[in-house]
Amino acid sequence: MNANASERRKGQRVDANLKLSVNIPRPDGSRESASMEALNISSSGIYFKSDHFIEPMTKLIMELELTVPPEQDGIKHAKCEGIVVRVLPESESDQIAHYEVAVFFTQIDEDGLSFLQDHISMLLSTG
């Protein structure tokens, strides 16, 4: 990123190795459940590695497994929905083992957002 470019994200992005469950829509209208590896996260979105190509503008239903401070029981789950805003590489290929997918959260429940913010704060304080 150019040092002079302004940051467009609202939330601070942090590296994260989270368990992420994603329900991916299929052409027949059903959904396929998949486990993904989160690369980084903010309060407004997530960037993850996927062995599935997911078209931009696809609506996803996700569940994040978040580590929170021990006084909050250590592990919490946040259910959310989001829209795929970027996929790299940009087209599907049998030659590609993994894609990197950026998702903007469109809905996250109040408790889930609180757990996510706690998780991010914890990562920032230990980073």
Report if residue 8 sits inside a domain: no
The radius of gyration of the chain's CA atoms, rounded to the nearest angstrom, is 15
Tell me which of 100 and 72 has the higher pLDDT.
Answer: 100
pLDDT at 5: 40
pLDDT at 90: 93
Q: Are 106 and 83 in contact (CB under 8 A)?
A: yes
Residue bearing tokens 């998702």: 103
Number of domains in the chain: 1
The CATH number of whichever domain residue 35 belongs to comes to 2.40.10.220
Report if residue 114 sits inside a domain: yes
pLDDT band at 118 (very low <50, low <70, confident <90, very high): confident
DSSP character string of 34-92 = EEEEEEEEETTEEEEEESS---TT-EEEEEEEEE--GGGTSEEEEEEEEEEEEEESSS-
pLDDT digits (tens, 9 = 90+) for 15-71: 887 888 998 888 888 888 888 889 999 999 999 999 889 999 999 999 998 877 667
* Residue 75 domain boundaries: 14-126
Tell me which of 5 and 62 has the higher pLDDT.
Answer: 62
Report if residue 1 sits inside a domain: no
- Quick one: what percent of the chain has pLDDT higher than 70? 88
Residue in 42, 84, 35 with CA at minimum distance from that of residue 63: 35
Backbone angles phi, psi at 108, to 5 degrees: -150, 135
Distance CA 79, CA 91 (A): 28
Report if residue 103 sits inside a domain: yes
Report if residue 6 sits inside a domain: no
- pTM (predicted TM-score): 0.83
